[in-house]
């Protein structure tokens, strides 16, 4: 397993240790020059063999004062070297065991996940995706091959992650892809996204897969590989900028509803699988949803994938329909309750 250990040693401690070593060498050189009348090179040589305790021959026979000074220098140097070695050992071992513990804790949590979202890539697009998913309280697993990005994720402490290549089946299996609800791949290279889509679709045929694309013709290949939806950030950005010139209030209104966290209004997708069986084939008008809940059905998708915008009151609801409903959180909650417990009299 490719580990990324925490080597961020406290800078103050490093500076202190290096300063102490330089001080010991300086004291040794000056001491031998004054006590034994060595020249600089002889004093430096004598200091280094003393501090390092290698046991080479002395330059000249030491006087009693020189021997006492040498004993003093050995004791001081051993203390400094011991401090430096213990500092390095502590930080390296702390990093190893801390990261080992974190990695295993994360893996245990991932193994228990169901209906989660796998996000491949922790770049600029990936970060935005993750923030939005977190705002909706969804379970997320990030897969990234960059050690620096993994370290950033690890420091946050509230996101599950896997360090590895998202194109590999074993990494996908470790992310519990067979139990996942969706996968979003935001890798910068379209070829990598294509491999991820192929791998993911093979491992989970029912998975919803959303892929980023950069090149103009990559969307067709990604669709063939099994992607459910293709997002081209450059195209979307260009369209949005043009719309802000042409219809600025419309864009801001839709962004307020769709992209901003709001307690006032939301658009949610609600499945007619929730519909009480006795309400099948009843029309929207007969159900009286707007009057009873305050929420509005602004669109629907039928069993064939056809979209109907602003559906009329005469449309009868079927089990395979997906409804797009506009309302406040309270209204939406009441809407779901009416679908489940609707009056069947």
Task: Tell me if 124 sits within 8 A of 190, measured CB to CB.
Answer: no
Half-sphere exposure of 65 (CA within 13 A, CB side): 7
In the chain, which segments carry CATH 3.30.70.1450? 262-341
* 102-117: average pLDDT: 87
If pLDDT is split at 50, 70 and 90, which confidence band does 262 have? low
Task: Tell me if 257 sits within 8 A of 326, measured CB to CB.
Answer: yes
In the chain, which segments carry CATH 3.40.50.720? 113-237
Higher pLDDT, 269 or 93: 269
If pLDDT is split at 50, 70 and 90, which confidence band does 30 have? very high
Is the pLDDT assigned to residue 2 strictly greater than 70?
no
If pLDDT is split at 50, 70 and 90, which confidence band does 264 have? confident
Q: Tens digits of per-residue pLDDT, 289-311?
A: 788 888 888 899 988 888 998 88
Determine the Cα–Cα distance for residues 320 and 275; give it in Å rounded to an integer.
10
Determine the Cα–Cα distance for residues 317 and 288; give it in Å rounded to an integer.
12
CB atoms within 10 A of CB 238: 11
Task: Tell me if 335 sits within 8 A of 295, measured CB to CB.
Answer: yes
pTM of the model: 0.60
36 DSSP 8-state letter: S
* 34-41: average pLDDT: 89
Is the pLDDT assigned to residue 9 strictly greater than 70?
no
If pLDDT is split at 50, 70 and 90, which confidence band does 97 have? low
Determine the Cα–Cα distance for residues 103 and 74; give it in Å rounded to an integer.
43
CATH tag, 262-341: 3.30.70.1450
* 154-158: average pLDDT: 79
Determine the Cα–Cα distance for residues 268 and 276; give it in Å rounded to an integer.
19
- Domain 11-106 belongs in CATH node 1.10.287.70: yes
In the chain, which segments carry CATH 1.10.287.70? 11-106
Strand runs labelled E in 71-186: 117-120, 140-144, 160-163, 182-185
**Is the backbone of residue 254 left (phi > 0), alpha (psi -120 to 50) or beta?**
alpha
- Look-up of token digits 């950005």: 237
Q: Which tokens is 29 given?
A: 């050189």
If pLDDT is split at 50, 70 and 90, which confidence band does 100 have? low
Ranked by mean pLDDT, which of 5-9, 45-49, 109-113, 301-305 comes out on top? 109-113
Q: For the CA atoms of 276, 279, 284, 285, what is the dihedral angle to 10 degrees? A: -130
pLDDT number for residue 98: 62
Q: For the CA atoms of 229, 234, 235, 239, what is the dihedral angle to 10 degrees? A: 120
pLDDT number for residue 7: 41
Q: Which tokens is 256 given?
A: 């307020």
Determine the Cα–Cα distance for residues 206 and 345; give it in Å rounded to an integer.
37
Domain 113-237 homologous superfamily, CATH: NAD(P)-binding Rossmann-like Domain (3.40.50.720)
Between 54-63, 101-110, 230-239, 242-251, the lowest mean confidence (pLDDT) is in 54-63
Determine the Cα–Cα distance for residues 147 and 180; give it in Å rounded to an integer.
24
Is the pLDDT assigned to residue 173 strictly greater than 90?
yes
Percentages of the chain per state (helix, strand, coil), in multiples of 5: 55, 15, 30
Query: Rounded mean pLDDT of the chain?
Result: 83
């Amino acid at each position: 397993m490719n580990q990324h250990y925490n080597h961020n040693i406290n800078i103050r401690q490093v500076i202190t240790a290096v300063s102490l070593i330089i001080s010991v060498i300086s004291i040794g050189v000056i001491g031998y020059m004054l006590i034994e009348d060595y020249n600089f090179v002889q004093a430096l040589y004598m200091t280094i063999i003393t501090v390092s305790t290698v046991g080479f021959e002395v330059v000249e026979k030491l006087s009693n004062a020189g021997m006492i000074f040498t004993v003093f220098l050995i004791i001081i140097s051993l203390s400094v070297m011991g401090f430096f070695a213990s500092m390095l050992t502590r930080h390296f071992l702390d990093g190893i065991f801390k990261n080992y513990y974190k990695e295993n804790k994360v893996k245990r949590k991932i193994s228990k996940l169901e209906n989660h979202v796998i996000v491949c890539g922790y770049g600029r697009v990936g970060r935005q995706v993750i923030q939005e998913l977190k705002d909706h309280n969804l379970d997320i697993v990030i897969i990234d091959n960059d050690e620096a990005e993994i370290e950033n994720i690890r420091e946050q402490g509230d996101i599950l992650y896997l360090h590895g290549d998202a194109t590999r089946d074993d990494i996908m299996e470790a992310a519990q892809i067979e139990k996942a609800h969706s996968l979003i791949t935001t890798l910068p290279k379209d070829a990598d996204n294509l491999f991820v889509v192929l791998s993911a679709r093979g491992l989970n045929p029912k998975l919803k897969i959303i892929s980023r694309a950069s090149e103009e013709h990559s969307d067709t290949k990604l669709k063939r590989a099994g992607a459910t939806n293709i997002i081209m950030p450059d195209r979307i950005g260009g369209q949005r900028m043009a719309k802000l010139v042409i219809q600025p209030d419309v864009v801001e209104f839709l962004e307020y509803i769709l992209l901003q966290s709001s307690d006032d209004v939301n658009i949610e997708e609600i499945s007619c699988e929730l519909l009480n069986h006795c309400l099948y084939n009843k029309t929207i008008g007969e159900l009286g949803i707007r009057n009873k809940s305050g929420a509005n059905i602004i669109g629907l998708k039928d069993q064939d994938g056809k979209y109907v915008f602003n559906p009329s009151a005469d449309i009868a609801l079927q089990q395979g329909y997906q409804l797009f409903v506009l309302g406040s959180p309270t209204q939406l909650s009441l809407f779901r309750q009416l679908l489940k417990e609707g009056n069947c009299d």
